[in-house]
Amino acid sequence: MLDLNDIAMFVQVVRCGSFAEAARQLGMPPNTVSRRIQQLETQLGTRLMQRSTRKLTLTSAGLGFHERCVGAVDGLLEAGQALMTGSHEPSGRVRVAAPADFFDFFQMQWVTEFLTAHPRVRLDFVLSDAKADLIAEQIDVAFRGGPLRDSGYVGRQILDPRSVGMVASPAYLAARGSPRTLQDLVNHDCVISAHAGGHATWRLVGPNGEEEVQVSGRFSGNTAQALRKAAVAGLGIALLPPVMAKLEVEAGALVPVLPQYQPNGYGLNVLYPSRRQLPLAVSAFIELVIQKMNAADSSPEHQ
């Protein structure tokens, strides 16, 4: 029979990213932790992780085993903590991976409200446009824009991409005119994601279904924030994430362009390592983001 303590130890090693750190937190020698994990692998008849001098990497079997175990282990720990504290109050650290411009559309005041409501929770943000490795970087929950692809993690869309998409400043449209068709974009300056050739392909959904158009411009950038600022400065037409575009349109800094076309796959998604029971602090934070983001988007789909 498998020793549940060894399974909990395996989950802790994955969470810490090393035997040494897991041993420190568990209060035992690193060689003991390593030996217990080896015993677990022997009992299971498979290798769970690849060991190197630099880091631990889960095998495919290890990923699957971790996904099935982490929720149960965390649930047991939370149950014990709830009995000890006499409550079911969310607690602990929540490590969040999000796009670099996350706080351009997610108000810091919402974070303040959350931390005030949950005084035993600590939020640790890792902001980057690079996709985080949830296991290796010990991420509890990640927010990503764009299409939700199969990554081995549990994911769901929390913000529909159907909203404001293409925008430009009033000054740019006054000087260059408004495009009447999608193909008119070929004759306009467009603010695009960084590309060596100075051009990009925009895929949109319009009256005739999914369409695409080749656009070009003299300004490109690798973050949505850079593209937003360039569009506001009048450098061209931009295709922005829905929430960011909506906020700028409401402020009058940008104007919708060809509103019958909407971005394809620009929604916001949430990812987490396991489909099993989430720690209360993690699920509470996910619900906060869903509530605030959907409230910020006034399209009929999110009422």
Note whether 242 and 159 are within 8 A (CB).
yes
Highest mean pLDDT: which range of 9-13, 155-159, 271-275: 9-13
Half-sphere exposure of 15 (CA within 13 A, CB side): 24
Report how far Cα 230 is from the mean position of its chain's Cα atoms: 24
Q: Using CA atoms, how far apart are residues 69 and 11, in angstroms rounded to an integer? A: 7
Q: What are the residue ranges spanned by the domains of the chain?
A: 4-85, 92-151+275-298, 166-263
**For range 223-227, the mean pLDDT:** 83
Q: Per residue in 83-128, pLDDT tens?
A: 555 456 788 889 999 888 788 778 899 999 999 999 989 999 999 8
Tokens in use for 223?
Answer: 């973050």
pLDDT for residue 39 is more than 70: yes
pLDDT for residue 12 is more than 90: no
Window from 92-106, 191-205, 229-243 with minimum mean pLDDT: 191-205
Which residues fall within 8 angstroms of residue 251, CB to CB, at 6 or more apart?
none
Amino acid at 113: E
**For range 223-237, the mean pLDDT:** 91
Q: Using CA atoms, how far apart are residues 271 and 216, in angstroms rounded to an integer? A: 33
Q: Which CATH number fits domain 4-85: 3.40.50.300, 3.30.450.20, 1.10.10.10, 1.10.12.10?
A: 1.10.10.10
Percent of the chain with pLDDT over 90: 27
CA distances from 180 to 13, 27, 37, 211, 232 (A): 58, 68, 64, 15, 21
Q: Which sign does the torsion angle of CA 302, 126, 108, 226 carry?
A: negative
- Bridge pairing between strands 49-51 and 56-58: antiparallel
Supply φ then ψ for residue 272, to 5 degrees: -150, 160
Q: Per residue in 172-183, pLDDT tens?
A: 999 999 999 999
> Which pLDDT score is estimated for 104?
76
- pTM attached to this predicted model: 0.56
As beta bridge partners, residue 169 has none
**For range 284-289, the mean pLDDT:** 89
> Which pLDDT score is estimated for 159?
60
Nearest to residue 231, comparing CAs of 164, 293, 298? 164
**For range 270-297, the mean pLDDT:** 78
**Same fold yes or no, 92-151+275-298 and 166-263:** yes
Q: Which CATH number fits domain 166-263: 3.90.1150.10, 3.40.190.290, 1.10.10.10, 2.40.50.100?
A: 3.40.190.290
* Mean pLDDT (the chain, rounded): 82
Residue 143's H or E segment, with its range, is strand 141-145
Residue 69's H or E segment, with its range, is helix 60-85
List the CATH code of the domain at 92-151+275-298: 3.40.190.10
> Which pLDDT score is estimated for 169?
96
- Bridge pairing between strands 189-193 and 154-159: unpaired
> Which pLDDT score is estimated for 298?
46
**For range 158-182, the mean pLDDT:** 84
The per-residue DSSP string of 36-51 comes to HHHHHHHHHTS--EEE
276 versus 206: the higher-pLDDT residue is 206
> Which pLDDT score is estimated for 299?
42
Q: Using CA atoms, how far apart are residues 161 and 159, in angstroms rounded to an integer? A: 6
- Bridge pairing between strands 189-193 and 262-263: unpaired
Note whether 215 and 185 are within 8 A (CB).
yes
Half-sphere exposure of 102 (CA within 13 A, CB side): 23
Give the number of other CB atoms < 10 A from CB of residue 78. Answer: 19
Percent of the chain with pLDDT over 70: 81
